Amino acid sequence: MAHYVCLVTFTDQGVRNLRKTTARARAFQEKLEKHGIVFKATLWTVGQYDIVHIFEAPDDKTAATFAYTLYSLGNVRTHTLRGFTAEEMDEIISRVQTPFDLLVDRPPAE
């Protein structure tokens, strides 16, 4: 499954309903887990973002559906990032071509 980080900021409506934020998060997570999303962590933060969700989803479309659904409820704005594990990053790095590779039209290393 693919990994994602969803950075969340409260809207004015979300701030007005702050006392319900943990209950809303739990209920929303339970519903989305039925659709294949696995939450690894939800953290309330201090700083530029108010909440950070770390989750796994089967694909980008499922992750986007999560982000748009969360956004459409009106309590938050979201910024979702696709993340990679060390193993996934090793595979990506192994495929990176140098400028020389591009000039001589060599296929990426396997």
Q: State the pTM of this model.
A: 0.82
What CATH code is carried by the domain that includes residue 24?
3.30.70.1060
- Could you tell me the residue range of the domain that residue 58 belongs to? 2-103
Category of 32 on φ-ψ map: left (φ > 0), alpha (ψ -120 to 50) or beta: alpha
pLDDT over 90 at 11, yes or no: yes
Into how many domains does the chain fold? 1
Q: Given this model, what pLDDT does residue 106 score? A: 60
CA angle 75, 78, 84 (to 5 degrees): 145
Q: Given this model, what pLDDT does residue 37 score? A: 95
In a domain, 108, yes or no: no
> pLDDT tens digits for 32-41?
898 899 999 9
